[in-house]
Amino acid sequence: MMESNPYFAVSSSSSGFQPYGYGGGFQPPSFPVVRLRGLPFNCTDIDIFKFFAGLDIVDVLLVNKSGRFSGEAFVIFAGSMQVDFALQRDRQNMGRRYVEVFRCKRQDYYNAVAAEVNYEGIYDNDYHGSPPPSRAKRFNDKDQMEYTEILKMRGLPFSVKKPDIVEFFKDFMLIEDKIHIACRPDGKATGEAFVEFASAEEAKRAMCKDKMTIGTRYVELFPSTKDEARRAESRSRQ
């Protein structure tokens, strides 16, 4: 017997290759996600990359509650073996705090993603600050902003490629040469990108894609400028 990929085992026989995933006892591996708890409240995606140095991270979701970072995060890895290695870092320190790393379910991650998008400014009773604006208000604020031909994308999967972004904007005039995926100096993606449309009017029309998904991630769009895009590109080259 040989294995062609992580999800389907195959065997050679006179009838050819038969995937065990159909009618056999083979079960696909679990969704490669872990949950982190006890993170410093100033934690960023970059801190999590450093914490799991040497492992192949596909996506990071920092969990917010009532508009504030909760100290929890979900991290998706490239495969189940990476998860096993990640679990070995349970109770290790990030700054002065030790971090819990434990398994969780695919649905836990999806619920957290949905909560990030659906958050409407519902606060605890003891919240005394000014409530954050609702999603509708935030969208209207974006609609009132001055537009150039540049949009900034935030919340992209770390594995995103330019063709994925072209496909996301398939109803608009966008080519790969007009896309810059922001990276840290070590080459790791930041989850942001800058895209240049044919005109400011076209960029404003493309805002209808705000909060739509690439993979499992809801992507936020913001009006931007060529100067901001240049600064992001120069940081990638440092």
Where along the chain do its domains lie?
A: 33-118, 135-237
Pairing type for strands 9-11 and 68-77 reads: unpaired
pLDDT tens per residue, range 113-138:
877 765 533 333 333 333 344 343 44
Q: How many CA atoms lie within 13 A of 42 on its CB side?
A: 2
User: Which CATH entry fits the domain spanning 33-118: 3.30.70.330, 3.40.50.300, 3.40.630.10, 3.30.460.10?
Assistant: 3.30.70.330
Whether residue 169 is predicted with pLDDT greater than 70 in this model: the reply is yes
Determine the pLDDT at residue 9: 37
pTM higher than 0.75: no
pLDDT tens per residue, range 88-111:
999 999 988 899 999 999 889 888
Nearest Cα to Cα of residue 216 among 66, 70, 76, 73? 76
pLDDT tens per residue, range 28-83:
568 899 999 999 988 888 889 889 988 888 888 888 887 788 899 999 988 899 99
Q: Average the pLDDT over 144-170 and give the result.
A: 89
Determine the pLDDT at residue 183: 87
| Start-end of H helices in the chain | 45-51, 80-87, 106-118, 135-144, 162-168, 200-206, 226-237
- Four-residue CA torsion sign, 16, 21, 26, 29: positive
DSSP 132: P
Is-same-fold flag (33-118; 135-237)?
Answer: yes
30: helix, strand or coil: coil
Whether residue 146 is predicted with pLDDT greater than 60 in this model: the reply is yes
pLDDT tens per residue, range 185-212:
778 888 899 999 999 999 999 999 988 8
Superfamily of domain 135-237: RRM (RNA recognition motif) domain (3.30.70.330)
Determine the pLDDT at residue 191: 87
